[in-house]
Amino acid sequence: MTARDAALTALREFRRGRDLRSALDAATAPLTDSRERGLAAQITLGVVRNLTLLDYYIASASSIPARKIEPLTLDILRAAVYQIAFLDKVPHSAAVSEAVSAARRKLNPRAVGYVNAVLRKLSERLPDVSADSDAEKLAVLYSHPVWLVNAIIARLGVEETTRWLAENNAEPPVYARVNTLKTTAPQLLSDLRSLGVNAEPSALDGTLELRGAGEITRLRAFKTGEFFVQDPSSARAALAVGAKAGDTIIDACAAPGGKSFALAIAMENRGKLYACDTPGRVRLIADGASRLGLTNIECVTADAAVFTARFADLADAVLADVPCSGFGVIRKKPEIRFKTDAEVAALPAEQLRILTNCSAYLKRGGALVYSTCTVLQRENEDVVAAFLAQNAGFALEEQATLWTHRGGGDSFFIAKMRKTQ
């Protein structure tokens, strides 16, 4: 099996409904060469990140309407056109040749000629993108739904929206959050560099940016709990809580655990942190806490939208990082871009229920932090405004949207409220 075969397998499984990361992992498992695995991942993720644009190119060179192209044929075309358009180190002739070879093995003879004709034409020249509006053009160029592009243009304008879209399609770095109970940022930086890891301090103290590190879990410093993986924006949501040693804190939607770990470390492993989520997801948190040596975390199976009597008026602070549309983490999960407006329309009501429920867990004077990894106002500022309108005993202290193109981390929303009555 070659890298391109693995990419086609992953794209086929994703098209059939399998989780993208799971499909990619399974498809690349037979590949023994790390470079082949890397190329397969690059093609697969590149196709998903640029799907609308690739289909635009294919339609411009095709005699068959896109809706009538057989799915496997379309996979082969997309993978090849991605290489032609984006991979400078792959000669156009090689991309065409490999695609035609795959078509011979997998398709009927007539389809082989069609694939060859389309790719030959596109390898000579890719067409310019034209559209009736800025939003429609950007939606094609960066393969985002036009409704989402319009929503961001309304907030940021065309120029900044373009920068945000471009960042969403870039390869994201991995961020290591230092476990200061075991080491320091300078020491971890030195240790990682000594192993050949490309590590640099990030804009957020205590966080390192890693590139080309390979499988993070294989690093000794990870195994010994000297760091955990956490995006700076996620870390900032935890820092907004203002946790200190001896506090009682509830992380209401805790999995996979990064914010709980950051809170527990800020508490100097003292006090009590209740990390709540569904049964299977709680197991992830417990495993991570054990690796990091965090003993003040108690994992609790609890639905954040359902009242847990033992938590009533208990906490000095509650963090509610609620389920959301996820449009702030598209660069990590490119398939998120395919969510429709209708699919995410019900989320604000659920988010408000969670926020309202969690507010009952606070002591007077306690902090309530609401966060999401999305950029839609209706899931962010509007939910906070609705909560405050219904709960006179809370006051807003601060709120902000963090944008990938402005700060490097995921796009995130964070609001901090205080229980005054």
**Which of the residues are catalytic?**
373
> What is the Cα–Cα distance from 335 to 333, expressed in whole angstroms?
6
Residue 67 gets which letter from DSSP? Answer: G
Q: List, in order, residues 6 or more apart from 89 with CB less than 8 Å away.
A: none
Residues with Cβ within 8 Å of 200's Cβ and at least 6 positions away in sequence, in order, are: 189, 208, 209
Secondary element (H or E) of residue 208: strand 207-211
> Given its phi and psi angles, is residue 84 left (phi above 0), alpha (psi -120 to 50 degrees) or beta?
alpha
Contact, 43 vs 36, CB < 8 A? no
Helix (H) or strand (E) segment spanning residue 299: strand 297-301
Closest CA to 274 of 290, 266, 263: 263
Say how far apart CA 204 and CA 168 lie, in whole Å.
Answer: 20
Bridge partners of residue 368, in order along the sequence = 318, 417
Total length of the chain: 421
CA distance 297 to 287: 11
Residue indicated by tokens 């006090």: 271
CA separation for the pair 404, 412 (Å, rounded): 8
E strands, 65-197, in order: 174-178
Neighbours of 265 (CB within 10 A): 23
Q: For the residues of 219-267, what is the DSSP string, one character each?
A: SHHHHTTSEEE--HHHHHHHHHT---TT-EEEETT-TT-HHHHHHHHHT
β-partners of residue 301 are 277
